[in-house]
Amino acid sequence: MAGHSKFKNIMHRKGRQDAVRSKQFAKLSKEITVASKMGGPDPDGNPRLRLAIANARGLSMPKDNILRAVNKGQAGDGDDYFEIRYEGYGPGGTAVIVECLTDNKNRSAGAVRSYFTKNGGQMGETGSVSFMFDRVGEIKYPASVGDEDTVMEAAIEAGADDVTSDMSEEGEGHTILCAFEDLGEVSKNLEAALGEAESVNTIWKPQNTIPVDEDKAGTLMKLIGTLEDDDDVQNVYSNFEISDEVMEKLSAA
């Protein structure tokens, strides 16, 4: 399997659901606050806020929490946050992109650098690995929204570029990709056809993946997990490919 979405599912199954959800809520609240500060409190006129709220709803974040985060932005609480992207190499020569939203650049840089160093990687300069990825829009729906043909037809009508459907018991349902600049329009069209999405994001999609063997996979997953646990880190992307067999071994460890 490519990417680390399955890794996230494993971590959820290992008894960390409450802690993970709490951390997700905190990061979403920060994003909503910054989006509200930068573009105003009306989601219809603020695409970034619209996406942030859609993701919060997809994770069943309480309405009061969402409103509180929007109001914080209007009160100026998002003034001191900076968006920073760090790039580097993980175990096995994998490329890793780390997106942060922080009020202390030095703290974030030092922490991210130490995570790379302690887990068999090395942080590089901005642009050192991002050229190996494409910036695209990603919209996710649960399997319950419809079969593959139904979603494919809706995605084509909405202007999307690609659809991947995983209808297995532990699958992620439907993942729809579109051009970065079309995300707002495509997500709006899909919402009209299929209802509200589970998540709507801009992501770094690897152009190619790098196979990682069992010896390196554990360390790589530890690096990604450590990065994602940091409060300043919003998103982590990588171009690794790990077999399902190895992932199952990691989940049992």
Using one digit for the tens of pLDDT, what is the confidence trace for 213-247? 988 999 998 999 899 999 999 999 999 998 888 88
For 187, the token pair is: 């997500």
Q: Which CATH superfamily is domain 5-74 in?
A: Integrase, N-terminal zinc-binding domain (1.10.10.200)
Asked whether this chain's domains 5-74 and 82-131+208-252 adopt the same fold, the reply is: no
Tell me the H-state helices in 119-242. Answer: 148-158, 183-194, 214-229
In whole angstroms, what is the distance from residue 224 CA to residue 101 CA? 17
82-131+208-252 is classed CATH 3.30.70.980: yes
Q: Which CATH superfamily is domain 134-206 in?
A: YebC, transcriptional regulation domain (3.30.70.980)
- The pTM for the full model equals 0.87
Using one digit for the tens of pLDDT, what is the confidence trace for 66-82? 999 999 999 877 668 88
What are residue 2's phi and psi, to 5 degrees? -105, 150
